[in-house]
Amino acid sequence: MAAAPLAVVGDRLCTDLLDVTSDLSALDSQGFWAVVVPYDGAPVCARFGTVRPARPWRGARWHGPSPSSWSSSLDEKGFGLGVEEIRAAIAAGDVYQVNLTRVLSAPVEDLDDPHHDIAALGAALALGNPAPFSAVVRVPPAGVAIASASPERYLRRDGRRVASSPIKGTAATPDGFTPKDHAENIMIVDLVRNDLGRVCEYGSVSVPSLLAVEAHPGLHHLVSTVSGELRDDLGWPELIDATFPPGSVTGAPKIAACSIISRLEPASRGPYCGAIGWVDAGSRTGELNVAIRTFWIDEGRLCFGTGGGITWDSTATGEWAETQLKAARLLSVASGAAEPVP
């Protein structure tokens, strides 16, 4: 029997599902919503009737796939060829940067087993890889089973005030960032400034934080913040339409980057690189993450995405190693391994 719908978003536990819609305008109505906007596919907005502080997980402990069972949509050679194609596009002047990703997956044998409940995986991630924008959304009527340990804010809204905090730059140590990391971050900041400028009051867009170093489990990131004042006549649909997909997981210029992504990536990103979070429609507040460091269940397989931004200075070996670094700790948690999963 399918588990009851629930969401753990923004330190809140949401139960008693009232309705589900793909219409983002519902987020400007009333009620508390868990929100999933996939990179590929229709949005899922789930309104819950009971919202209370999240509590420690008391269900079954997560039992994940064996470390050896994971496969990748792109192997190292295929990923390297993609890096070189992107560098050729940069040399031709078509793009400045493209985010290239791959989807890892492993079979989950019995989805009715409570040990394979996505909420149990979310609890394991909260212990093994705590993240500031973590989320669990389980909505069986919409086919949604997602556990995210995202470190990145896509959008925060408080009334008319909106902000985005793109991550670009990953290193094992706080002094390990390269000039490429700094250039990449600043490039995406400019893209986010442009995106928010489409829906914010003229002159209100600013960058209150640039190239801040943040520590996360097993690695460090460069994080910047862009903010602005949303125009009075606009709401969540317009804000998401102007800024989605997040610039940190696409590239610049965004439309050209997305076209290259669709050509080079053999597997659908699904919810990966989309957005997950919550919206309190009545108070016009909400927060959505960038759905990286995110697991989802699709057709009996547990899936996980990893990738990085490719620029002219990228090397196939270096970019592959970055995807490994980003994935290792999370896969270890999902597989219950004592050591990082290669």
Residue 152 is among the residues annotated as catalytic for this protein: yes
pLDDT value, residue 111: 73
pLDDT value, residue 6: 97
29, 281 contact by CB (below 8 A): yes
Q: What are the average pLDDT values for consecutive 10-residue runs of the chain, which has 342 residues? A: 88 97 98 98 98 92 93 98 98 96 92 88 94 96 96 97 94 90 92 97 97 90 97 98 96 96 97 98 97 96 96 94 93 77 55
182, 222 contact by CB (below 8 A): yes
Residue 339 is among the residues annotated as catalytic for this protein: no
pLDDT value, residue 110: 75
134, 293 contact by CB (below 8 A): no
Residue appearing with tokens 């919206």? 279
pLDDT value, residue 341: 56
pTM value?
A: 0.95
Residue 56 CB coordination number (10 Å):
7
Q: Which of 76, 77, 109, 168 is catalytic?
A: 168
State how far the Cα of 118 lies from the Cα of 6, in Å rounded to an integer: 11
State how far the Cα of 27 lies from the Cα of 200, in Å rounded to an integer: 18
CATH architecture observed for domain 6-62+71-335: 4-Layer Sandwich (3.60)
Q: Which of 77, 152, 184, 319 is catalytic?
A: 152
Beta bridge partners of 226: 164
Residue 305: which H helix or E strand, with range?
strand 301-310
State how far the Cα of 83 lies from the Cα of 102, in Å rounded to an integer: 12
